[in-house]
Each structure stands twice: as C-alpha cells, then as structure tokens.
Chains A and B, each alone.
Chain A
C-alpha cells in the first residue's frame, strides 16, 4: 500500500549519518518555536516546525468579552503591527452592528495601518539582517523604526499596542501639527531606505547567499496556500488592498509589488519595496484626507450584534489576516476565528527547507515573514 504523503513529510528510517537538531525554543536562530531539523552533513533532510509555545487562547478569550473589551487583547499577537491586526475586527464588528464610519476616520485608519506596516517590516528586516550575520542591518532599521513609533505615539499615546482603531472609527483625532511632521519624517525615511539598498540588498555576499535558495514556484505557492509577501515573491499578483479594497484604499495611488523568482532574495526584497508603497499611500492619504470632521461614531453602551456572521480580511505586514465573527444576539461574540498569514506561510517551511543547506535555514525561515506569536494566537 502506498500513500501519498504531504510535501515535506516522509517516513523516518534509522540511519547513523542523520543528526537531529532542535533549533529552538532556546536558540538564537529561532523565534518562540522549535524546528526539528534532520541534517545529513550540511544538507537538511527534513524539517518539522513545531509552533505552539506561545499559544494564549485569544480566540477563546474573545468569547467572554464584549465587542469593545476585545480591542486591547486582540492586538497582542503582533504588537508591532497592532493596527493591522485590529483592522479586520473593526471592519467586521462595524458590519455586524451596522455602524457608519466617518470619512476622516477612514483616512486616519489607513495612515495608522500603513505606519504600523512600516514598523513591522522594519522590525522584521532588522531580524533578517542579524539572522544573516549583518549587524549593521540590525541596527539601522531598529533605529529608523523609532520615527514611526514616535508618529504613532503622537496619534494614539502609546508607543506599541496602540489600540487606536475601534469599531466606529479611531479613538481620538490627530494632533494639530501631525501632517507636517509626518511628511517630514516620511521624506527622511525614503532617503534612508535607499541606503538600505546599497548596504544590504546590493551586497554581493547577500545575493550569493540568498539568490536561488529555497525556491517556491508559482503553482506551489498557490497550492500550499501562502499569502502576503511570500505569495507575491512567487509571481502571484494578490494584495487584499487591491483585490478587495476596504475603507479608502481604492481612492489611493499605490502598486502591488510582484517578483517572479520565488527565492529567498525575492522574499526578502518584497517587504522592503512595499515600504516605498506605504510611504506613497501615507503621503496620498494626507493629501486627500478631509481636514476636519468627526473621527468616531458613538456606539450604544454594550452593543449587541444580531443573529449573524461576518468574515472580513485585510492585508497586514505578513499577508492576509481574516476575522470570522459569529454573533447570537448577545453583547459578546459567539465565536471569533482569526486566520493569520504567519501560520499559512509556515506550512511551506518543510517543503522549502528539504534538501537545502543548513546555512540557508535562517534566510528561508525568516524570509517566510513568519511571526511565531501571531501563528499561535
């Protein structure tokens, strides 16, 4: 009897040449997770990702809190990208409760989401740099990230975990000098991004190391259900902001970045190029935004959803995040299911690492744009 095993899985045989390495959970090259890697010399025979070390039961917790109380804890899985992970929740709850969002609030939400996307990608890029042994690329993005953190602090009052997006709009209006300050910092940041290109992406050693390693073909990317930058690096033109535009994204001027190679280099480059697009979106949104008006629709105290269900998704720094919310005439949701990009990208890791060299492991692993805490929820 022969059974078709899923990609990356194989029947283990006892062989003295094979060494099993536990990369994680206490390893500088792993996140809050474990990779069970079997190596034959310098080649990886198999890789078995073992997430679940930071499971916090966000979905179950959401069933015991009402729609407003759910806001702060639902952003915890990705504190660097807290606006984007809250975005689909707010959209879904607005649809369930039938709330209209003011026009100005929609623009402010987009600005907050794009600023947060830059914060996340810079953090991701810093770790990508140190994973490849490039210490300057660790320090520069980690330093430049402060600019956006300061901007979001001015908007929301908190440096991380802003809880800025709420059903019905945003929590508070922008400070008075925000537009001028934001434009100045974005202009500076675009200059800095070009320096990243020189020191990191055009570096011959980085190219030699990442080009042609861990190739994910277009069909495999679709078949394995990847999302976000991993999908776009394999040549699939899919971005939720373009395909299912939410709030005001359809009015704004930006492009989807797509690369055809599907290797580690393309996966590392797509988020970087997306930061340019984020800067474009921020500048465009600041221009088109209504200069005054309400930013929040007042909710009734303890609002109740109908006997209804809703699924909304947005494009986060790691791919599509979807929220499936079911309500049953109560102030609390009956069920909240979060579908995150990290977990879906993790699925292709055994597939990519099989047959690779051990030295490619960090580049492939972190190139998947995977955030362990988000995957565990």
Chain B
C-alpha cells in the first residue's frame, strides 16, 4: 500500500488554520506594523483639501472615490516613487528587459534565425520571464575554497552600482532621482566601482579563469575610463556646468554632438569597453577563458549580474543622450490633456463623473520622456549592432586603442571645445545665451 497524501482530517485542518492565523497576526503586529510606521515616518505626507493626509485619511479613498486621484498624484511626487518606479529602477528595468528582447530578435534577424519564438505566443515575448524563472529556480553553487562573503557580495554590489548610475540620469524636466550639482563627477565615481567589483569577485572565486578574466576587466576598464572622462570634458567646457539637468537645458537650440562630434565618437567607443560588449568582450571571452570573471556564478547570482549589465547599458545610453543628443529636448508632439475633462468631468447620460486632481503628469514631462526614450532606444540599438558584425579583439589591441588612440582623440576634442569657448562662439555669453 502506498500513500501519496496523509489521511485528511477536518479537525486537524481547522486546527492548522487557527495556528496559521495566530502566527500571521503575531508576526504582523510585532514586525510588520513597526515597519509600516517607520516607512510612513519617512514619507512626506501631502495636504489635500486642507487636510493633512494621515495613513487613516489615505485609506478613505475606499469610501470616497474622488480622493483617489489626489492621493495617487501625491504619491507620484514622493521620493520612494522616484526611486522605485519612474525615473529610477522600474523604468530602467522595463527598458532593460525590452532591450534584451530587441537584442535577441535583432541579432537573430542579422544571423538569418528567428530568435525566441514560442514562449508567450507572440514572437517569444515572454522568453525573458521564462529565463528569469529558470535562473531563480537553479541551485546556487559556490566554489568550496571561495571567499564566501565577498563572492556573495559581488552581484549585489554590481546591481547596486548599476542602480546608482541609473539614478543619476535625468529623464524629463525635474524627473531625476538624484540631482547633485556635480552630477557628472558622481557618474565618474560610480563608473570607477565596476572594475573593483570585477576584480574582487574574480579573486574571491578562487579560480584561474575568473582570475584572468578579472585582471582583463581591470586592465580594460582602467584603460578606457580615462578617455571616457576626457571625452566628456568638452561638453562640460561648452555648457559650463557639471549638473546633468543643466547640461540638458543648455542644448535647447543645438545638440552638443554638432560641435564636439569627436568627443561623442570617443565616448561611444568607450561604452563598448565599459559594458564588456563585442568587440571588447575580452573579460568574458569564452573560447579563451571560459566565461572570464563570471565563470563561477550560477543561478540567480548570474541573473543579477546580467540585470546589472543591462541597467548599465541603459544608463550609458541615457548618459550619451543627455550629454550629446539633447536629452529630453524635442518638438512638442504630446497632445495636451483635454481641458474639458478637468473642469466639467465626463458626462455619460445622466451620470457626471468628476476627476479632481487631473492631469496626473504634465504635458512637458510626458513629451520629454517620449523624446528621451526614443533617443535612448536608438542609441541602445547602435550599441547592440556590432555584436552581429565584429569578432573579439585581442587584449593588446584593446589596450593600444584605449591608452593611445582614444586619449589622443579626446585631447583634440578638448582643444576644439576650448577654441569654440575662447573665440566666443559658444559657452557662457556666447551664441546660445
């Protein structure tokens, strides 16, 4: 006799339900409630209709639906929304997911394949989700002699640094998570973290392949970081600001790529090296060093590294758009929100529904976001294209390119920018102001 399930008894089932309810209540009241109140303490509570919104009043939208939109609107302008949803992580993650899908289909078209096709019925649109679940369900294997704390920390640090980079990119006027006055310096500081993370995890994994890969990553990123920084100085000289939002505002009439194209080209090439993409995918060269510094990662640790890589891709493309392609600037194509609905509401037969608090987003923000997304996706496609065309370069050629050719070009670019500044053509007090 074989039993698949133990014998069912109603009394035990009810007893276990009570047991469950007891534990849920206990844990919620001891841990959950304090956490809720700690979070609420830090959120700036809005004032609506002259009433200070307490958590109790915030829940009154259940009784009074007309309060819904003001509450949602108030939430949209809180910091937590900015970090988690719109210019921050959620927005970047959705763009990154779209990027992965586009990359796979795009590369497949170049290579006369079809790419992902079955998962999600329509052109394999859910393939990424399937891959994510697969990675999550896989076992995480850690090498026996690895330095475990640092090895565990690697993917988290990588995603954290990529997230910090994303938070510095302004998407629309006023829509940026962190807007320091030295935004560009902060970008350089964040970029400087990546080689350190690569070397730390490579060393901690205690394998020859990760070690060689980590050293390659270090050499390559350091070699390309200097031309990267130098190539962006031209824009700083011309716009007279390190604040990324100010740099975008300074491009209302002309994009900086028209005046400093050499800097744009140098920066574009360094993006490939920083992202470890073809043709500079030396740290992950599979036919030489298995998977480079990612060799020992498995399961969701590898998934986090991939997530971080694509967040980084989005952030670099966004930085290119912000610095050279005018950021959110563009002709106004988004239609204004109909004034009629704001003042009179919608009337269907005898019922009139009024929506106080509309519109949720203003027209300039939506228009700016649209242009930013269009430009960023264009730049991302340009970054993806070489993967189908180029082979991998060799280490000495890559370093020669970084230390010698690109630095020379970056200096030429700086002199062009200085020339434009001192001739009085551009810059503070020049043609554009």
Q: Do the two chains belong together in a single complex? A: yes
Residue B290 lies at the interface, judged by CB distance under 8 Å to chain A: yes
Which residue of A129, A203, A209 is within 8 Å of B394 (Cβ)? A209
CB distance from B117 to the nearest CB of A (A): 15
Q: Is B390's beta carbon under 8 Å from chain A?
A: yes
User: Cα distance A358–B292 when bound, in Å?
Assistant: 13
**Chain B contacts for A360, CB-based, 8 A:** 394
B288 touches A203 (CB 8 A): no
Complex CA gap A140/B281 in Å reads 21
Question: Which one, B110, B112, B390, B396, contacts A357 given CB within 8 A?
Answer: B396
**Contacting pair B288 A29 (CB below 8 A):** yes
Q: Does A60 make an interface contact (CB < 8 A)?
A: no
Q: Which of B107, B110, B279, B288 has the most CB of A within 10 A?
A: B288
* Residues from chain B with Cβ under 8 Å of A136 in the complex: 110-111, 388-389
Please, how many angstroms separate the alpha-carbon atoms of A140 and B113 in the complex?
Answer: 9
**Contacts known (A359-B288, A362-B287); A139 close to B391, Cβ less than 8 A:** no
Cβ contacts under 8 Å, A200 to chain B: 391
The 0/1 profile, CB within 8 Å of A marked 1, for residues 275-315 of chain B is 00011011001111110000000000000000000000000
Residue of B nearest to A130 (CB): B287
CA distance A15 to B392 in the complex (A): 31
Q: Quick one: given A21-B208, A135-B387, A136-B389, are A357 and B287 in contact (CB under 8 Å)?
A: no
> Considering only CB atoms, which chain A residue lies closest to B284 in the complex?
A133
Q: How many residues of A contact B (CB 8 A)?
A: 32
Whether the Cβ atoms of A42 and B395 lie closer than 8 Å is yes
- How long is the Cα–Cα vector from A294 to B397 in the complex, in angstroms? 59
Q: In the assembled complex, how far is the CB of residue B410 from the closest CB belonging to chain A, in whole angstroms?
A: 21
Check B394–A134 contact: CB distance below 8 A.
Answer: no
Whose C-beta in chain A lies nearest to the C-beta of B398?
A: A359
Contact with B along A122-151 (1 / 0, CB 8 A): 000000011111111111100100000000
Across the interface, which residues of A come within 8 angstroms of B387, CB to CB?
A: 135
Q: Which residues of B contact A361 (CB under 8 A)?
A: 288
Residues A83-135 near B (CB distance < 8 A): 129-135
Instruction: Please name all residues of chain A whose beta carbon is closer than 8 Å to the beta carbon of B111 when the two chains form the complex.
Output: 135-136, 138-140
Q: Is A199 an interface residue (CB 8 A)?
A: yes
A261–B273 alpha-carbon span in the complex (Å): 32
Say yes or no: B393 contacts A208, CB within 8 Å.
Answer: yes
B107: chain A residues at CB < 8 Å are: 135
Closest to A137 in B: B391
The verdict on A242 contacting chain B, using a C-beta distance below 8 Å, is no
Contact of A203 among B282, B391, B395, B396 (CB under 8 A): B391
**C-alpha gap A130/B391 in the complex (Å):** 8
* Contact of A205 with B282 in the complex, beta carbons under 8 Å: no
Q: In whole angstroms, how far apart are the Cα atoms of A139 and B396 in the complex?
A: 28
Residues from chain B with Cβ under 8 Å of A28 in the complex: 286-287, 290
Q: Known: A205-B390, A208-B397, A359-B395. Is A139-B288 also a contact (CB below 8 A)?
A: no
B341 smallest CB distance to A (angstroms): 51
Interchain nearest-CB distance for A70 vs B (Å): 36
Q: Which of B385-429 contact A (CB under 8 A)?
A: 387-397
CB distance from B377 to the nearest CB of A (A): 22
Q: Chain A contacts of B279 at CB under 8 A?
A: 133, 205
Residues from chain B with Cβ under 8 Å of A143 in the complex: 112-113
The size of the chain B interface, using a CB distance under 8 A, is 28
Report Cα–Cα, A361/B388, bound state, in Å.
22
Instruction: Determine how close the nearest CB of chain A comes to the CB of B342; give it in whole angstroms.
Output: 53
Which residues on A sit within 8 Å (CB–CB) of B212?
358
Q: Is the CB of A357 within 8 A of B391?
A: no
For residues 232 through 254 of chain B, which have their beta carbon under 8 Å from a beta carbon of chain A? none
B288 and A206 within 8 A (CB): no
The secondary structure that dominates the A interface is: helix
The reply to whether A133 and B110 form a contact with Cβ atoms under 8 Å apart is: no
Report the minimum CB–CB distance from B37 to chain A (whole Å): 53
- Minimum CB–CB distance from B393 to chain A (whole Å) comes to 6
Tell me if A299 counts as interface (CB < 8 A to partner B).
Answer: no
**Is there an interface contact between B395 and A357, defined as CB atoms closer than 8 Å?**
yes
Residues of chain B contacted by A359 (CB below 8 angstroms):
282, 285, 288, 392, 394-396
User: CB distance A29 to B388 under 8 Å?
Assistant: no
Return the chain B residue nearest A200 by Cβ: B391
Question: How close is B366's CB to chain A, nearest CB, in angstroms?
Answer: 38
Minimal beta-carbon separation of A362 from chain B (angstroms): 4
A19 at interface by CB-CB < 8 Å: yes
> Are A133 and B287 touching (Cβ within 8 A)?
yes
Is the Cβ of A133 less than 8 Å from the Cβ of B394? no
Q: A205 touching B285 by the CB < 8 A rule?
A: no
Task: Please state if A205 and B290 are interface contacts (CB–CB under 8 Å).
Answer: no
Instruction: Mark A188-213 against chain B: 1 for CB-CB distance below 8 A, else 0.
Output: 00000000000110010110110000
Cβ of B137 to closest chain A Cβ, rounded Å: 24
| A27 interface residue per 8 A CB criterion | yes
A140 to B393, CA, bound (A): 21
| Cross-chain contact A131 with B287 (CB below 8 angstroms) | yes
Specify the chain A residue showing the minimal Cβ separation from B393.
Answer: A205
Once A19-B208, A21-B208, A199-B389 are accepted as A-B contacts, the answer to whether A29 and B287 lie under 8 Å apart by CB is yes
Q: How far is the CA of A237 from the CA of B110 in the complex (A)?
A: 38
Residue of A nearest to B388 (CB): A136
Among A27, A29, A206, which residue has its beta carbon within 8 angstroms of that of B391? Answer: A206
**How far does the alpha carbon of A331 sit from the alpha carbon of B372 in the complex, in Å?**
79
Given contacts A135-B387, A209-B397, A357-B394, contact A27 B285 (CB under 8 A): no
The minimal Cβ–Cβ distance linking B217 to chain A, given in whole angstroms, is 14
B288's partner among A129, A135, A358 (CB-CB below 8 A) is: A358
Q: Which residues of B contact A138 (CB under 8 A)?
A: 111
Residue of A nearest to B279 (CB): A205
User: Contacts A19-B208, A21-B208, A208-B397; is A133 near B391 (CB within 8 Å)?
Assistant: yes
Partner pick for A42 among B110, B112, B290, B396, CB 8 A cutoff:
B396
CA distance A27 to B397 in the complex (A): 25
Please measure, in the bound complex, the distance between the C-alpha atom of A136 and the C-alpha atom of B106, giving whole angstroms: 12
CA distance A362 to B107 in the complex (A): 23
Q: Which of A281-303 contact B (CB under 8 A)?
A: none
B216 closest partner in A (C-beta): A42
B392 in contact with A135 (CB, 8 Å)? no
Residue among B208, B286, B287, B391 making CB contact with A209, cutoff 8 Å: B391
A137 to B107, CA, bound (A): 12
Q: 8 Å CB contacts to B: which residues of A61-90?
A: none
Chain A residues with Cβ below 8 Å from B393 are 205, 208-209
Min CB distance A148 to B, Å, is: 16
Q: How far is the CB of B201 from chain A (nearest CB, A)?
A: 19
Distance from B386 Cβ to chain A, minimum over Cβ atoms (Å) = 9
Interchain residue pairs with CB less than 8 A apart (24): A29-B286, A132-B287, A133-B285, A133-B286, A134-B392, A135-B111, A135-B387, A135-B388, A136-B110, A139-B112, A203-B389, A205-B390, A205-B391, A205-B393, A208-B393, A208-B397, A209-B391, A209-B393, A357-B394, A357-B396, A358-B212, A358-B288, A358-B289, A358-B395
Residues of A within 8 A of B (CB): 19, 21, 27-29, 42, 129-140, 143, 199-200, 203, 205-206, 208-209, 357-362
**18 further contact pairs, Cβ within 8 A, besides A135-B387, A209-B393:** A29-B288, A131-B287, A132-B287, A133-B278, A133-B286, A133-B287, A133-B391, A134-B390, A134-B391, A134-B392, A136-B388, A143-B112, A203-B389, A205-B393, A357-B395, A358-B289, A359-B288, A359-B396
List the 5 closest A-B pairs by CB distance, nearest first. Answer: A133-B392, A29-B287, A139-B111, A134-B391, A359-B394
